[in-house]
Amino acid sequence: MISDRLKKIILNQLKLENFDLTQDTKAYQVPGWDSLNHAIILAAIEKEYDIHFNIAEVLRLKNLGDLQNLVNSKMANKSK
């Protein structure tokens, strides 16, 4: 499940009010989600959660479920 917090970041960056984001959603399926917005979205997520993604992690992302899992993993490691 994609958290409301993550959905809000993505939708705000893309200036979308109503778009159904699910675990299986891929970037190309979302209006306005191009390579530039991809970088902006990832930077906004890093800032919001106070985490950092490396290039290898970003390249492995296939859909929003992968992104949510990566955020969850980073947050779990951060609290250790």
* pLDDT of res. 80: 72
CATH code, 47 = 1.10.1200.10
Dihedral angle sign, alpha carbons of residues 30, 35, 40, 45: positive
* pLDDT of res. 27: 97
40 is in which domain, residue-wise? Answer: 4-78
By C-alpha distance, which of 20, 66, 19 is closest to 45? 66
Reported as a single tens digit per residue, the pLDDT across 42-57 is: 999 999 999 999 999 9
pLDDT at 78 over 90: no
Q: Is 32 helix (H, G, I), strand (E, B) or coil?
A: coil
How many domains are there within the chain?
1
How far, in Å, CA of 80 to CA of 67, rounded?
A: 20
Which pTM was predicted? 0.94
* pLDDT of res. 79: 75
- 13 — pLDDT class (breaks 50, 70, 90): very high
Helix locations, the chain, DSSP H: 4-14, 35-49, 55-60, 64-78
